[in-house]
Structure 1
Amino acid sequence: MLWLALHCPPQAAPDAAAAPPPEASITPALACWAGRYTPRVNLAPDALRLDIGASLRLFGGLPALLQQVRDDLAAMALPAHVAVAATPLAALWLARAGDGTVCPDLAATRAALAGVPLAALRLAPPLARRIEGFGLRRLGDVLALPRASLGARLGKPFVIDLARALGELPDPQTCFAFPERFEQALELPAPVEAAPVLLFAARRLVAALAGWLAARNGAVRALDCLIEHGHGHVTALPLAFSAPVHDAARIERVLKESLDALHLPAPALALRLCAPETVAREAGSLVLFDGAGQRQEALAELMDRLAARLGAPAVQGLACHADHRPEHASRAHPAAPAAAPPTLPRPLWLLDPPEALRESRGRPQRAGPLRLAAGPERIESGWWDGADARRDYFIAIDGAGRWLWIFRDPRPPGGWFLHGVFA
């Protein structure tokens, strides 16, 4: 097992009374963000702990994963200490002690713990004063003492914590329960009068949404961004996507277009991002040449950004319409990536020529009566080349369970015919 701890130290403020508490930055929204790395997230009062052992290969190894974490924190403007250790408690203590300690195994973890100041353990004040009275300053000083006497001097709970941090005892963690519905809010540090400025604060909510979607393997087609002005006044900013999305960068670009076109009626005090519903994320596969897929995704994003900037009614597409009259053969519709036209079932094998079937009381027969499972589907064509065809096709099942494609000719002399067999 390998654990990553993220500790947000308290930020200094000119007015000590205005300084936020140590846990001010550790919120459920941040735990949702961590879901992009692992579904096993522990939300502590002053830190997050992520079980990243099973995620290393997905992100290309530990250095690549750590770099991605730091990039995310920088994008969210979130100062944090990051540490990696073989046990969750060791990772927490190391993150509280400072930034950047990486212990890829248990041996390195035990060695690094020796330099951790005892203040990073956040001990109860009576125990901290007792240890300070012994002249102990670092965890290495404690570990150098006989383990048998520690329990009598410092208490059994402290000894158990030491054993858990060193990997000598199991340390099960309670995992964060990702909410069934995403709705997270962020209070702004100061009133904001220009809508585009809100994008900086919204990045944390978008990152939380992307992590939540990753943990649930989901995607969204629409979002509601609510800008709160106080006294119950809210500006609603709906975001719509032409195809399900889960990528934070794409969501952020569409949000930017919407904010750039928005005029705030009053200063903004808080932001709220809601996902009214989600859809399952489509599984993708990597291919050597995926130009068509990339072009389709780029087109979908372009349409989303244009709709966000200009309004959905201003972005229209054209689609074929099943009408032979030229003036009705196409229709305008809300822009969306072209979908494959629906296809009706067709058999793998066709008979040439079609086999005539017996008929009993108007029902087709072939070694017994045939049961009609679907149809009719009218196919009428060829009148211009002398091979005029007018047929009503059905899918039928015979007594042996075979699926057949049959048709009835509505023109005299009529009759039923077998035209194909489904594999």
Structure 2
Amino acid sequence: MRWACILFPQLAMDGVLRQRSDADAPLVLLAGTAQRRRLQAVNPAARALGLKPGQSLTAAQALSQHFATAEYDPAAIERWQQLLAAWGYRFSAQVSLHYPRCLLLEVQSSLGLFGPWPRFEARLREELTALGFQHRITVAPNPAAARVLANAHDGLAVGDETLHQALAPLPVERLGFSREASSAFARMGVRNLAQLLALPRDGLAKRFPAEVLSQLDTLLGQRPLALAFYRPPDRFEARIELNFEVESHQALLFPLRRLTADLATYLAGRDSGVQRFVLYLEHRNRPASQVPVGLLSAEREAAMLFELTRGRLEQQQLPEPVLAVRLVARDLPPFVPEHQRLFEERPQQSLPWEQLRERLRARLGDDAVQGLGARADHRPEQAWSSQSADVALPPCGPRPGWLLAEPQPLREGSVQVQAGPERIESGWWDGGDVRRDYYRVETRAGQRGWAFRTVGNDGPLLLHGWFA
């Protein structure tokens, strides 16, 4: 087996920056009590101002006033890890969050699907960059070795033959030992794994806890690491708190795009779609406004979800300024991709009917897009009704696609009868009783029509519709 470890060195900062449209502006994350606020993390723009983690907020403000602040939220870090696990689940059935701020993937089983590791790695990096998360990736024969190699390397891939050589120069403080064990090794003059492995094993067993030898065996692949594997939940929920009170729809588009992109990422990992979800707009002095989005079929494309939600949002009046945006999706049916032709003539000008239908419904309203449905009535003028666009037409025999508003008499000899008569007697219960004999006719020009004569009437045929 081969395990990839994806380390996120600034997960908390990336989680905040990806929610901001000004990601390049100076930003610091604050922690500590209200009396002693300190900088937990800083982005590169803030570091350029002389700010660094561990400083007090007072000292940072003495250096510069031109930086934004946000709260360091451990719960948010957990949510980002869950999102990343859902993303990784589309590439491997064995995904683990065993280590903090890390994602473990078993990739050996996925190489046949995603290609050799260099190509697979490039795809992982491309998607993580698009999601807005900085990362380091290493590959090793076991997850523990992959994790410790990520402390010192990025892009390193080792096999069973080169594992010992790659681990040997690593400092002991980066091998996953406890702080007490690492300090003891430092006092002994043991600086790296190679020197540690040169010590007698029975001596280590006497002087150190059993966890030290256990960690050594796990790193070298001699002892398996017990992992709890990720399983995607049955609902999706994400929230973005805005930096200021938003009073226009336009300012809500950036967080909306991020929320729908995260939903699409979650759905792709779960191999499902979404059919109904709700966008909540949170206010200060009143309950959250709800923007329900209902689809006629499951979707999961990020651009489509954003477009549909945007259409619904623009129809919503904002009763108060918006402080936060939350998206909740519970109806997550299986997703069946559309079967498309191998050679599409003009793919840039074509749009699947399902997507066009959803866009029209989002822009114009649920009742604006209608289809035709058949009613249980034999009278042609009563047999059709406008229904929801997803209602399929049942088979009802040969009927013209175009019915005239008023039947028109035909001149004798202008048409030739092809089939008939077909008698229709109906409508006695509502006062619209009809008794007609219908014929399929054809004109001299080749047009095919549907005409009738009232039973007991010897007058001319009345044209009621045209066949396509």
1:130 is aligned to 184
| 1:64 is the counterpart of 2:124 | no
SS in 1 for 2:306: helix
Q: How many residues align?
A: 349
Residues 297 and 386 of structure 1: CA distance in aligned 2, closer, same or farther (over 3 Å):
closer
2:357 match: 303
CA RMSD in angstroms comes to 4.0
How far is 1:100 from its partner? 2.9
The residue aligned with 1:363 is none
In the other structure, the counterpart of 1:219 is 273
- Judged with a 3 Å threshold, the aligned counterparts in structure 2 of structure 1 residues 296 and 282 are, in CA distance, closer, same or farther, namely farther
- Give how far 1:203 is off: 5.5
Residue correspondence of structure 1 range 46-57 to structure 2 within 5 A? 46-57=101-112
> Given that residues 3 and 84 in structure 1 are in contact (C-alpha distance below 8 angstroms), is that contact kept between their aligned partners in structure 2?
yes
- Residues 1:102 and 1:305: Cα distance change in structure 2 (over 3 Å): farther
Is 2:241 the counterpart of 1:188? yes
Partner Cα distance (1:216, 1:334) in 2 = 30
Note the 1:229-248 alignment, pairs <5 A: 229-230=283-284, 233-248=287-302
AA aligned opposite 1:80: H
Contact 2:171 2:192 in 1 (8 A): yes
Q: Is the 8 A contact 1:118 1:138 kept in 2?
A: yes
Uncovered stretches (5+) of structure 1, i.e. residues with no partner: 345-383, 392-423
The separation in 2 between residues aligned to 1:249 and 1:139, in whole angstroms, is 49
- 1:347 is aligned to none
Amino acid at match of 2:5: A
Relative to structure 1, the CA distance from residue 321 to residue 61 in structure 2 (aligned partners, 3 Å threshold; closer, same or farther) is: farther
3-state SS, counterpart of residue 156 of structure 2: coil
The aligned counterpart of 2:223 is 169
Cα distance, 1:65 vs. partner?
A: 3.0
Distance 1:340 1:259, change over 3 A: closer
Alignment partner, residue 132 of structure 2? 77
Q: Decide whether the 8 Å contact of 2:111 with 2:117 is kept in 1.
A: yes
Alignment correspondent of 1:6: 6
Q: Secondary structure at the match of 1:38?
A: coil
Question: Contact 1:196 / 1:259 at 8 angstroms: preserved in 2?
Answer: no
Deviations 1:366-414 (A, max 9, x none): xxxxxxxxxxxxxxxxxx64654689xxxxxxxxxxxxxxxxxxxxxxx
CA deviation map 1:2-31 (0-9, x unaligned): 222222224483753454378853432332
**Residues 1:95 and 2:110 aligned together:** no
CA distance in 1, matches of 2:86, 2:257: 13
Contact (CA 8 Å) 2:177, 2:215: kept in 1 or not? Answer: no
Map residues 192-211 of structure 1 onto 2, 5 A cutoff: 193=246, 194-202=248-256, 205-211=259-265
One-letter code aligned to 2:357: M
| Structure 2 residue 167 is the aligned partner of structure 1 residue 152 | no
Task: Identify which range, 25-34 or 163-172, moves more after superposition.
Answer: 25-34
Indicate yes or no: 2:77 matched with 1:25: yes
Q: Relative to structure 2, which stretch is displaced further, 231-240 or 6-15?
A: 6-15
Q: 1:106 to 1:230 in 2, by over 3 A?
A: farther
| 1:228, distance to aligned residue in structure 2 (A) | 2.8
Aligned to 2:232: 178
Q: Residue 279 in 1 paired to residue 333 in 2?
A: yes
- Of all paired residues, the percent bearing the same amino acid is 29
Contact 1:224–1:239 under 8 Å retained in 2: yes
CA spacing shift, 1:318–1:204, aligned 2, 3 Å: closer
| Matching residue of 2:160 | 106
Shift of 1:175: 0.8
